[in-house]
Amino acid sequence: MNFIHEAKSLVKVNIRDYGMYIALFVIMATFSILTDGLFMSSRNISNLLDATGYTAVLAVGMTLVIVIRHIDLSVGFAAGFMGAIAALLLTQAGVPVYLTIPIILLLGIVIGMFNGVLVASVGIPSFVSSLAAMLIFRGALLQVTEKTGTIIIKDEPFNAIGNGYIPSIAKVNGLNLLSLLLGVLIIILYIYFEFSKRRSKLKYQFEVVSKRIFALKIVFVSAIIAYITWIISGYNGFSWTVIIMLAVVVIYHFLTTKTVLGRHIYAVGSNPEAAHLSGINVKKITYIVFGSMGLLSALSGILFTSRLQSATTTAGTLFELDAIAAAYVGGVSAAGGVGKVTGSIIGAIVMASLSSGMNLMGVGISYQYMIRGGVLAAAVIFDVLTRKKRA
Amino acid sequence: MGDYILEMKNISKEFTGVKALADVNFQVARGEIHCLIGENGAGKSTLMKVLSGVYPHGTYKGDIVFEGSVQSFAKISDSVKAGIAIIYQELALFPDLTVYENIFAGNEVRRGAIVDWNRTIVHAKEMLRKVGLDVNPEMRVKDLGVGKQQLVEIAKALSKNVKLLILDEPTAALNENDSENLLDLLRELKKQGITCIMISHKLKEVISIADKATVLRDGRTICTLDGSKGEISENVIIKNMVGREIEDIYPKRPNKKFGDKVLEIRNWSAYDAQLGRQVAKEVNLHVKKGEIVGIAGLMGSGRTELALSIFGNPKSYRLQGELLVEGTPRTFKHTSDAIQAGIAYVTEDRKGDGLFLIQDIKSNVSAANLRGIASNGVINDNEEVKVAKRYKESMFIKAPSVEQIVGNLSGGNQQKVSLGKWLFVGPKLLILDEPTRGIDVGAKFEIYTIMNKLIEEGMSIIMISSELGEVLGMSDRVYVMAEGRIKGELPIEEADQEKIMQLATQ
């Protein structure tokens, strides 16, 4: 009885954090049933995650931009443009791939910082300045691809980023061994962190959840990781895209929740004046957030270009809106100061799942847009309502 | 007796438990200039808001009799229709619109649904002539000086056939010359039969212009003085404004010991480029170790601006003068420099720029000193909870846990969180701006106790306060500010309410 009581109160307090996961679960379960399990097949899930990569990466950066009460509309074409530059460097300039990637990432940071300066130092509203940047990058993308049209990339390692998988070493019952091992490693790390967190809390003599709840949580999360690993290993294993996506999420999650920098970002978002009076350099934080957005746009451009194995004249179209939608579905608040990186990733996966599931079911594209729009609206309504209840 | 254009009878108004007005009686005779005087928080503005319908009929008790009949204004436009116009201290003009558009905003000269701009301009010129303002009506309001903007406001009021004109501290932002012009205009309008109520803190003005003066204190009418009988004088007004016994809610500090100067500023001036005026003028001031220095003054006297100019200058004023911390000259480029030098500033507006309302207690407490709970930029969550719990206990913050969202706390508890945030920084000098505004007596006492404890631990405090009782009860030395200047420095033994008020209303 006590156990159920504790579980209930935990769910109640954290309903907003769990809301996204529940929604994702419901969507996946529904599609599984409607498609006779086709949706949860190894192949479909692998493809779905690979196709989410470049949007998810953008959504992570966009989360922080929205948290500090700004927006960046330029990220789509910035990604497209930087992807094209990468293609040019690889094909025409003959720059090796291990140089191309850092150059493009650095270029992304510079471009993002420039946006940050316009917003923070010149004082242009980010909507306007990034709209201008969007037009500029669109033009720039056309300019660099004008002569050649689509630039085909034949660089194997580069193309592997968007299409390749980690080596399998050996097959166990048709499953990729290395991917399985990776899954096991993730589970072990997860359990280790949970235990060390609990130990540290006990050392401070803080309250912790009961042992049974703790055990239940560990088993539950481990099972989910195991299940996903099992599904992915059944096809080609973890793709490089998914590995990169995971790395970005882990790094940004750590950055936003555990570091002084992360706290400063959320402080600026929740009250810029108070942040300034608390000795936080609001301008510097704005530069950093826009710089990180630029970096992730570059990464997104690399992922997308590599996935297509070519740079096209329309690459990046509407990426920014997908990223913004993913962030809002993931629980970011337009009022600033609220929003998690993990939420936005889930948001991106929710939106991708909707597309993928509806494609499998053969739903027309017109309905797909309407349904995705409805889900976006519903997510924000849920967010607003639960927020009101709490206040 | 007499012909009253306005009688407010037994007006009472409550804000969730706080009585702002208690049985106020206020009578204004036709064609007179009537001044309304009182300390900050005495109820002047509330009374005028009741009159103008900002607080609609039914939210207050008592009767408003205007032009012989009881009025029940449900909204501001009702009082405007009746012929009452208020001009607030912060002007309600549209800076990017022209003078004529402003004068007739909300009262457009029209033919059907279409605005007749030509006739508007003709009418506007007429109104401008009435207020003696010689400007092109097609100028933008933001290009005019504050004095002229004020006249545009009056012209706007006149365009609505105003019978009773209310001015809330009209000369607060004006220089000598403009003030004199404005007072002349009021005298002129009086000749034309317009009755005028003026709220003012400048007693010299009141004496020169008022036919009658009513003094409010703590939401009550204290007296109405008649100028024609020679009753309006500085001494009489001040006595009536302050004449309140100080309640003994100020904990004593038995053995006072002062050390060297922690902070000193010399010939310190700050110019606000946005407002286009000097907010602090040649200020000389110092604080010793172990001392509570009070800065008294009325609202708008430049106290907050002075504090901000010292605390890393977040508003980017143009600064002049010298700032010394423990004897060493310093310049702060950012608030973080000031914090590093050991200065903390607890803001006057805790909700606006003090706290992160959507965040919890622990994040607020740690916000100004995250390095204190982090190593290599990585935060130790448990250490943060520990620190927050410590302050929650020592500051008597009433909340179920340190994970409580600060926006849901009461004003007093919010103030303590704000204080806790700055104590965690470990400052040498704490600047408290209106530390007890809007919080209940119990919490006030707790904050005073905390202040005394901090002093005993060797800290110094600058306390900016509009509450004279608090200034006199807590300070060791008092500076009085008005119009951006230090008008006087009083050792606590020599300070009393009359003296402070005299300096503050110069």
Q: Could you give the count of Cα atoms lying within 13 Å of A205 in the half-sphere of its Cβ?
A: 2
Q: Are residues B153 and B169 in the same domain?
A: no
| B246 Rama class: left (phi>0) / alpha (psi -120 to 50) / beta | beta
CB count in 10 Å sphere of residue A193:
10
- pLDDT of A391 reads 45
Q: Are residues B180 and B156 in the same domain?
A: no
The residues on A that touch B, with CB distances below 8 Å, are: 200-201, 203-204, 206, 258-261, 263-264, 266-267, 270-271, 273-281, 337-338, 390-391
Sites in chain A below the pLDDT cut of 50: 391
Q: What is the least distance, in Å, from the CA of A68 to any CA of chain B?
A: 13
Chain A residues within an 8 Å CB radius of B363: 263, 266-267
CA–CA separation, A190 and A283 (whole Å): 36
Residue B256 located in a structural domain: no
Q: What is the least distance, in Å, from the CA of A199 to any CA of chain B?
A: 11
For chain B, give the number of residues.
Answer: 506
Identity of the amino acid at A44: N
Q: What residue in A sits closest to B389 (Cα-Cα)? A: A206
- Interval B108-150: pLDDT, tens: 888 888 999 999 999 999 999 988 888 999 999 888 888 888 8
Q: What is the least distance, in Å, from the CA of B288 to any CA of chain A?
A: 24
The residues on B that touch A, with CB distances below 8 Å, are: 311-312, 314, 334-336, 338-340, 345, 347, 352-359, 363, 366-368, 370-371, 374, 377-379, 381-383, 385-386, 405, 407-408, 421
Q: What residue in A sits closest to B368 (Cα-Cα)? A: A278
CATH number at residue B49: 3.40.50.300
∠ Cα B115 B118 B124 (to 5°) = 95
For chain A, give the number of residues.
Answer: 391
Chain A residues within an 8 Å CB radius of B407: 391
**Cross-chain Cβ contact B382/A264 below 8 Å:** no
Domain boundary among B179, B214, B245: B245
Q: Which residues have CB under 8 Å from B40's CB, separation 6+? A: B298, B299, B466
Section B2-23 average pLDDT: 84
- pLDDT of B480 reads 95
Q: Smallest Cα–Cα separation from A73: which of A143, A142, A132?
A: A132
Pair A92, A274: CB distance under 8 Å: no
Pair A43, A235: CB distance under 8 Å: yes
Residue B468 located in a structural domain: yes
Q: What is the least distance, in Å, from the CA of A264 to any CA of chain B?
A: 8
Pair B254, B304: CB distance under 8 Å: no
CA-CA distances (angstroms) from residue B207 to B165, B203, B211, B268?
19, 6, 9, 32
**Cross-chain Cβ contact B371/A280 below 8 Å:** no
**Cross-chain Cβ contact B379/A263 below 8 Å:** yes
Phi, psi values for residue A62, rounded to 5°: -65, -35
Query: Helix axis angle, B381-394 relative to B411-423, nearest 10°?
Result: 120
Q: What is the DSSP letter of B98?
A: B
Pair A323, A160: CB distance under 8 Å: no
- Kindly state the tokens that stand for A66: 């929205």
B-interface mutation test, from A264, A266, A277, most B Cβ less than 10 A away = A277
Distance from chain centroid for Cα A73: 17
CA–CA separation, B25 and B47 (whole Å): 10
CA–CA separation, A301 and A305 (whole Å): 6
- Interval B148-173: pLDDT, tens: 888 899 999 888 888 999 998 888 77
**Cross-chain Cβ contact B336/A280 below 8 Å:** yes
Q: Are residues B352 and B274 in the same domain?
A: yes
Q: What is the DSSP letter of A103?
A: H
Q: What residue in A sits closest to B364 (Cα-Cα)? A: A267
**Cross-chain Cβ contact B379/A264 below 8 Å:** no
Q: Are residues B111 and B57 in the same domain?
A: no
**Cross-chain Cβ contact B353/A273 below 8 Å:** yes
Segments making up each domain of chain A, as ranges: 52-164+240-390, 165-238
CATH class of A52-164+240-390: mainly alpha
Q: What percent of chain B has pLDDT over 70?
A: 98
Identity of the amino acid at B169: E
Q: Are residues B231 and B270 in the same domain?
A: no
- Kindly state the tokens that stand for B423: 């104590």
Q: Smallest Cα–Cα separation from B403: which of B360, B365, B363?
A: B360
Pair A133, A115: CB distance under 8 Å: yes
CA-CA distances (angstroms) from residue B167 to A208, B87, B198?
61, 5, 5
Residue B487 located in a structural domain: yes
- Kindly state the tokens that stand for B211: 């036919």
CA–CA separation, A310 and A159 (whole Å): 9
- A337 vs B338, B358, B366: nearest CB: B358
Pair A351, A51: CB distance under 8 Å: no
Q: Are residues B145 and B202 in the same domain?
A: no
Choice among A65-79, B398-412, B421-435 with the minimum mean pLDDT: B398-412
Chain A residues within an 8 Å CB radius of B355: 271, 274
Phi, psi values for residue B482, rounded to 5°: -155, 140
Q: Are residues B344 and B397 in the same domain?
A: yes
Choice among A269-283, B14-28, B220-234 with the minimum mean pLDDT: B14-28
**Cross-chain Cβ contact B374/A204 below 8 Å:** no
Q: Are residues B7 and B69 in the same domain?
A: yes
Query: Helix axis angle, B441-456 relative to B411-423, nearest 10°?
Result: 10
Q: What is the least distance, in Å, from the CA of A274 to any CA of chain B?
A: 4
Q: Which residues have CB under 8 Å from B232's CB, separation 6+? A: B206, B207, B210, B212, B213, B225, B226
CA–CA separation, B23 and B208 (whole Å): 29
**Cross-chain Cβ contact A277/B366 below 8 Å:** no
Pair A116, A291: CB distance under 8 Å: yes
Residue B231 located in a structural domain: yes
**In this model, does residue B331 exceed pLDDT 90?**
yes
**Neighbour-count burial for B43-61, b at 16+ CB within 10 Å, e otherwise:** bbbbbbbbbbbbbebeebe
Domain range spanning residue B9?
A: 1-83+163-245
Chain B residues within an 8 Å CB radius of A390: 405
- Kindly state the tokens that stand for A305: 């270009």
- B371 vs A201, A260, A271: nearest CB: A260
**Total number of domains in chain B:** 3
- Interval A174-206: pLDDT, tens: 888 999 999 999 999 999 999 999 999 999 888
**Cross-chain Cβ contact B382/A204 below 8 Å:** yes
Q: Are residues B213 and B237 in the same domain?
A: yes
**In this model, does residue B174 exceed pLDDT 80?**
no
- B314 vs A264, A267, A276: nearest CB: A276
Residue B255 located in a structural domain: no
Q: What is the mean pLDDT of chain B?
A: 89
Residue B353 located in a structural domain: yes
- pLDDT of B43 reads 84
**Cross-chain Cβ contact A200/B382 below 8 Å:** yes
Distance from chain centroid for Cα A334: 18
Strand B318-325, strand B328-329: pairing: antiparallel
Q: What percent of chain A has pLDDT over 70?
A: 98
Handedness of CA B140, B141, B145, B148 (dihedral sign): positive
Question: B271 has which bridge partners?
Answer: B278, B318
| B426 Rama class: left (phi>0) / alpha (psi -120 to 50) / beta | left
A266 by DSSP, 3-state: which?
helix
Q: What is the least distance, in Å, from the CA of B463 to any CA of chain A?
A: 17
- Kindly state the tokens that stand for B156: 């706007």
- pLDDT of B393 reads 93
CA–CA separation, A86 and A14 (whole Å): 43
B244 pLDDT band, cuts 50/70/90, is low
Q: Are residues B191 and B226 in the same domain?
A: yes
Q: Which residues have CB under 8 Å from A311's CB, separation 6+? A: A80, A83, A84, A86, A87, A88, A145, A150, A151, A153, A305
**Cross-chain Cβ contact B354/A277 below 8 Å:** yes
- B355 vs A206, A261, A274: nearest CB: A274
- Interval B29-84: pLDDT, tens: 999 999 998 877 788 888 998 998 889 988 899 999 998 888 889 988 888 889 99
Count how many pairs of residues, chain A against chain B, have C-beta atoms within 8 Å: 87
Q: What is the least distance, in Å, from the CA of B370 to any CA of chain A?
A: 6
- A279 vs B335, B352, B385: nearest CB: B335
A-interface mutation test, from B309, B347, B358, most A Cβ less than 10 A away = B358
Phi, psi values for residue B14, rounded to 5°: -120, 140
CATH number at residue B154: 1.10.8
Section B278-287 average pLDDT: 94
Domain boundary among B127, B160, B193: B160
Predicted structure pTM score: 0.84
Q: Which residues have CB under 8 Å from A161's CB, separation 6+? A: A240, A241, A244, A302, A303, A306
**Cross-chain Cβ contact A267/B367 below 8 Å:** yes
- A267 vs B339, B356, B374: nearest CB: B356
Choice among A220-229, B219-228, B455-464 with the minimum mean pLDDT: B219-228
Q: Are residues B78 and B182 in the same domain?
A: yes
Section B287-299 average pLDDT: 92
- pLDDT of B322 reads 95
Q: Are residues B421 and B312 in the same domain?
A: yes
Pair B348, B330: CB distance under 8 Å: no
- A274 vs B340, B356, B381: nearest CB: B356
- pLDDT of B1 reads 47
Pair B28, B42: CB distance under 8 Å: no
What number of helices (H) and strands (E) belong to chain A? 16, 4
H runs (alpha helix) in B335-467: 335-340, 361-366, 381-394, 411-423, 441-456
Element holding A83 (H helix, E strand): helix A75-91
- pLDDT of B423 reads 94
**Cross-chain Cβ contact A281/B334 below 8 Å:** yes
**Cross-chain Cβ contact B382/A271 below 8 Å:** no
Domain boundary among B160, B184, B199: B160
